[in-house]
């Protein structure tokens, strides 16, 4: 799928930081995550169901977007499907699933998961599926961007010419309620369309301005962003001063958290590169640690330990699996669960057994996957 330099999911960022478009074009794609892959599979499944019918449960075990649908994913898709169908009941005109909506070809466009027009042509529905676990506001720039694109997309002109009101909905199965909605008038969306066009023009200018804020969160250009670099420079020589005002303390905490987040993202990028066979000078992967936890409830565990011969207070007082293993020698597999943390970055000067060769990494990655 082609990603827009300026799209619905990046609208808030580009409007607030036009320079981020050029910087993102120079930055590598973010490493894929299991959550993104899972969401893509659920999007593909619900698209197929809305177009062709069927029940999500019938597709457990099937593969969509290279991910196998499990029971939990199917249940979330069922919630989203029911919500989408209920929204569509109020729109008996044209209906579109996964509609590509264009403001500027190849530069400013987005995809409407569910788009529908009322029978009289006066109202339009734009709904977006969100299968993640971070709540999204229906009043976000994303849905307004799609509404604006619907108004000017050349292939939609005939069906949108009489629209006076938009119903904007976010469908989020992980939350209750699963659907949050807002409305916007045509006039409000036309004003937002002008904002989009101004931001697009600004983003094309050489040396377009960059600005930091909450919109930086998902921007993959942070490592090369001049505003981020300046923030680092401002913090390098900072020393806590007893005369700082509360406002100053709040400002420095905010900047520090932004720096911490940036460093975490750089480390994740480094792990991804090493996992995929590339060398990051000075760094290797360190095997995750393994921790034992009890597999059964406390009373059942204590009874089982007594049956194994554990005597005295240890059979009555809470005891860790590691301590029980030390006292007894070994523990039955059914009593404990092994939790292995994900591999982490380590300096290549660390102990040899902390460095993860390719074969060991594959084994550790499989363990981590099994614990999720």
- What residues contact 19, with CB distance under 8 A and at least 6 apart? 203, 207, 208, 209, 210
Q: What is the DSSP string of 229-266?
A: HHHHHHHHT----TT--HHHHHHHHHHHHHHHHHHHHH
- The class (CATH top level) of 32-204 is alpha beta
Given this model, what pLDDT does residue 45 score?
Answer: 97
346 beta partners: 284
- All structural domains of the chain with their residue ranges: 32-204, 283-370
pLDDT digits (tens, 9 = 90+) for 314-354: 444 456 777 777 777 777 777 777 777 777 777 766 433 33
Q: Kindly report, residue by residue over 161-199, the tens digit of the pLDDT.
A: 999 999 999 999 989 899 999 999 999 999 999 999 999
Radius of gyration of the chain (CA): 26
- Tell me how far CA of residue 99 lies from CA of 21, 109, 114, 153, in angstroms: 23, 11, 7, 11
- pTM passes above 0.95: no
Q: What is the per-residue pLDDT for 297?
A: 53
* Residues in the chain with pLDDT values less than 70: 1-2, 31-32, 237, 292-303, 305-306, 310-319, 348-372
Give CA–CA dist 62/70, Å, rounded.
8
């Amino acid at each position: 799928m082609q990603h827009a330099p300026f799209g619905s999911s990046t609208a808030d960022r580009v409007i607030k930081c036009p320079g981020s478009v050029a910087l993102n074009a120079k930055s590598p794609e973010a490493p894929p995550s299991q959550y993104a892959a899972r969401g893509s599979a659920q999007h593909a499944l619900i698209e197929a169901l809305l177009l062709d019918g069927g029940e999500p449960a019938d597709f457990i075990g099937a593969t969509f977007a290279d991910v196998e649908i499990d029971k939990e994913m199917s249940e979330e898709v069922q919630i989203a499907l029911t919500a989408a169908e209920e929204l569509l009941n109020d729109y008996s005109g044209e209906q579109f699933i996964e509609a590509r909506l264009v403001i500027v070809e190849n530069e400013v466009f987005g995809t409407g998961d569910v788009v529908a027009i009322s029978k009289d042509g006066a109202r339009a529905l734009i709904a977006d599926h969100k299968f993640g676990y971070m709540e999204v506001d229906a009043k976000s720039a994303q849905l307004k961007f799609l509404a604006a694109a619907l108004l000017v997309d050349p292939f939609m002109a005939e069906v949108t010419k009489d629209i006076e009101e938009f119903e904007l909905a976010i469908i989020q199965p992980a939350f209750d309620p699963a659907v949050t909605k807002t409305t916007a008038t045509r006039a409000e969306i036309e004003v937002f369309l002008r904002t989009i066009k101004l931001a697009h023009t600004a983003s094309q200018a050489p040396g377009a301005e960059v600005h930091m804020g909450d919109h930086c969160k998902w921007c993959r250009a942070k490592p090369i962003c001049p505003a981020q670099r300046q923030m680092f420079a401002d913090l390098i020589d900072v020393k806590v001063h007893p005369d700082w005002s509360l406002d100053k303390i709040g400002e420095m905490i905010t900047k520090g958290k932004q720096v911490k987040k940036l460093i975490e993202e750089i480390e994740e990028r480094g792990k991804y590169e090493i996992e995929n066979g590339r060398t990051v000078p000075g760094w290797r992967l360190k095997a995750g640690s393994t921790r034992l936890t009890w597999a059964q409830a406390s009373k059942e565990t204590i009874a089982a330990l007594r049956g194994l011969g554990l005597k005295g207070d240890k059979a009555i007082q809470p005891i860790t699996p590691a301590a029980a293993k030390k006292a007894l020698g070994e523990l039955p597999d059914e009593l404990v669960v092994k939790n292995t943390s994900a591999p982490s970055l380590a300096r290549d000067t660390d102990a040899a057994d902390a460095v993860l060769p390719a074969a060991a990494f594959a084994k550790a990655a499989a363990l981590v996957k099994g614990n999720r």
